[in-house]
Amino acid sequence: MTTEKKVARRKLSLLELATDIGNVSKACRVMGYSRQQFYEIRRNFQTYGADGLIDRLPGARGPHPNRVAAEVEQAILDHALANPCHGPMRVAQELVLQGVQVSSGGVRGVWQRHGLLTKHERLLRLEKATAERKLTLSEDQVRLLERFSPEFRERHIEAPHTGALVAVDTFFVGVLKGVGKVYLQTAIDCHSRHAWARLYPNKLPITAVQLMNNDVLPTFEANAARIDAVLSDNGREFCGRDDQHPYELFLQLEEIEHKRTRVKRPQSNGIVERLHRTLLDEHFRVEGRRTWFETIDEMQGALDTYLIGYNTKRPHQGRGMNGRTPLKAFIDGLPKEKPTKTIPSTKAA
């Protein structure tokens, strides 16, 4: 029961009590009303019936007589959605040009009723309406979105099993005193996030080959697995003529497909880019302030120690990982060999 109905029932009880005992003053003392309130309640009950027992607030019933028409109010709301930064005077002038007569005060009144008085509130309404709207994009719109948002169509890399795709890249770590520039050659299995990394004083094709030959391939061979494809950007250490470039020749020798990101779009190789950010934040920036390195071998030793923890102890929450470590995901994702069916031979009797 609502509060209004409870109050109406109490008033009705007051009228019934006064009728039963035949004494208005005593009934008012018992129920907690004054005589003036009693006569007003009785007059409303005699005039309006049961509806007269409900409290009536002063003022106009329904819409105010000076409120703008419904179609004008809708025009104001539509204009606020299309142009949320326009003020009330600008909105009134724009609507007059469209044949809708309204004053700036009328615009503010509509905004106030709908909670749109401030520009921030109107912008939030636009954001909510845009988020709830479903659009069917044409091919031209998709093409433009791909052009200005590299991860629109490639935010996820498909790798159904371990070795289906290994992403590789080169990362500039910094400058080591007495050595010069230091580059990091990285490789990561896109299915399990198992990572390999090695530091070099240059970024040549031979260093990219060394990482694959000395670190990546032995791991797969130890688990009786193979690499189906390698994904790289269009850097010179990875790409070149198929019959001359060392990295291309190495992949051909190992029968590994070489996939490349689109020109000027290295962001599509997002898994290895995320690995670089993790190595930079969790290892290089920490160890660079903790230890004074003099050679690349010292840096490589610290990096190897970190990668052991990264691959075997660090849980991952990325897509498809569900808190598993890269080593566990690497083993779980190894392709299962399909059993071969044996067809029994039939001999003629």
Q: What is the DSSP letter of 261?
A: P
Query: Beta strand pairing status for 166-176 and 229-232?
Result: parallel
Question: How far is 326 from 309, CA to CA, in rounded Å?
Answer: 10
Q: Which residue has the higher pLDDT, 131 or 76?
A: 76
Instruction: Tell whether the model's pLDDT for residue 216 goes beyond 50.
Output: yes
Domain containing residue 78: 70-132
Coil/strand/helix, residue 2: coil
Is 280 domain-assigned?
Answer: yes
- Least confident window among 57-61, 109-113, 228-232, 288-292: 57-61
pTM for this structure? Answer: 0.54
Looking at the structure, do residues 87 and 180 belong to the same domain, yes or no? no
As for how many domains the chain has, the answer is 3
List, for residues 35-92, the tens digit of each pLDDT value: 998 998 898 888 888 888 877 666 556 667 778 888 999 999 999 988 888 999 999 9
**What pLDDT is attached to residue 288?**
80
| 277-336 residue pLDDT tens | 889 888 888 888 888 888 999 999 999 999 999 999 988 877 778 889 999 999 998 987
Q: Domain with 286 in it: what CATH number?
A: 3.30.420.10
Is-contact 248 240, C-beta < 8 A?
yes
Q: Is residue 151 part of a domain?
A: no
Whether residues 9 and 95 fall in one domain: no
**187/305 same-domain check:** yes
pLDDT digits 0-9 by tens, 134-150:
767 677 766 666 666 55
Q: Is 150 contained in some domain?
A: no
